[in-house]
Amino acid sequence: MLRFLSVLLLLIGFFSCNEKKAEIQPSTKKVLEPLTFDRPKASRQLVKFSPEFIEENQINQWSEFNKFKEEMEDMSQLNPEGIMTFLSELLKLTTALLKAPFPDNFDKLPIYGRIKVVQTQIIKCHFYASNQQNEKLNQALDELYSEYNILMKRIISVAEDNQIQLDSSGIDLPTSQDSKIYPASSNK
């Protein structure tokens, strides 16, 4: 019994020495700064189609593109607090645009590729906005508007290319040219 008491006292002493008191740590809540950014310079000069161009190329029948274009133009006038909503909606519209069939005049890889570039810029903007990285968001928004302008100019150039008659003389043009066999500077 003496052994039992000594073991019991040893255990009580052991546990009483190791007991840690709960320290009260001051709670530090991370206060998110409001998202602030300057309106990008490129957003002031968005490329817009003329009504004649829209009618001539039947862009008004391309509903997914019209929604995308309107959302981009609305976002250029945005309120900083609502940027996450705009970017999320714009990402959905861009994904839907890429999945939808393109009109025959614009069903070309350069147009598709330009839309993918704009989509990538939207994803970058969304990331910077969600992580409250204001300076990087400003740069990404400027790049987004620049890429959007490039897309619009590319659509215009594709429409102009579609109007040019490559074979006005009726002679078949070669579909490919091997520059090793017939270099551009040769006299053949």
Q: Which domains does the chain have, with CATH numbers?
A: 52-163 (1.20.120)
Asked whether the beta carbons of 120 and 84 are under 8 A apart, the reply is: no
Here the tokens at position 51 are 């009504």
Return the pLDDT at 162.
83
Return the pLDDT at 35.
52
Return the pLDDT at 18.
58
What are the strands, taking DSSP E only, across the chain? none
Return the pLDDT at 69.
92
Sign of CA dihedral 167, 169, 175, 179: negative
Asked whether the beta carbons of 94 and 48 are under 8 A apart, the reply is: no
DSSP per-residue letters across 40-64:
PGGGGG-----HHHHHHTTGGG-HH
Here the tokens at position 85 are 């909503």
Residue pointed to by tokens 């620049």 = 146
Low-confidence stretches of the chain (pLDDT beneath 50): 30-32, 167, 176-181, 186, 188
Radius of gyration of the chain (CA): 31
Read off the DSSP letter of residue 45: G
Burial label, 80 (beta-carbon count in 10 A; 0-12, 13-18, 19+): middle
Residue pointed to by tokens 């976002």 = 75
Here the tokens at position 154 are 């590319």
